[in-house]
Amino acid sequence: MIGAMSDAPTPAKVHGSWQHRLVGWLVGIIWKTLGTTLRISIEDHAGILKAADNEPFIWSFWHNRVVIIPPLRHRFFPGRADGATMASQSKDGEWAAQMIKNVSITPIRGSTARGGSAAVREMARFLRRGEDVGITPDGSRGPRYHFKAGLVMLAQISGRPVMPVGVEYAHCIRFRSWDGFMIPYPFSHVKVTFGELVYVKRTHSEVEFEAERLRCEQAMMALVKTY
Residue pair 204/212 in contact by the 8 Å Cβ criterion: no
* Average pLDDT for 123-145: 93
Q: Residue 11 pLDDT more than 50? A: no
The predicted-structure confidence for 67-96, as pLDDT tens digits, reads as follows 999 999 999 999 999 999 987 776 666 777
The predicted-structure confidence for 13-48, as pLDDT tens digits, reads as follows 445 576 767 777 788 889 899 999 999 999 999 999
Cα distance between residue 204 and residue 22, in whole Å? 47
Residue pair 155/106 in contact by the 8 Å Cβ criterion: no
pLDDT on residue 114:
46
* Average pLDDT for 138-152: 92
Cα distance between residue 31 and residue 102, in whole Å? 9
Whether this prediction's pTM lies above 0.75 is answered by yes
The better pLDDT of the pair 8, 146 is held by 146
Cα distance between residue 226 and residue 50, in whole Å? 28
The better pLDDT of the pair 212, 86 is held by 212
Q: Residue 9 pLDDT more than 70? A: no
Cα distance between residue 221 and residue 156, in whole Å? 21
Cα distance between residue 106 and residue 46, in whole Å? 24
Cα distance between residue 192 and residue 211, in whole Å? 27
Number of residues that make up the chain: 227
Tell me the backbone φ, ψ of residue 87, rounded to 5 degrees.
-130, 135
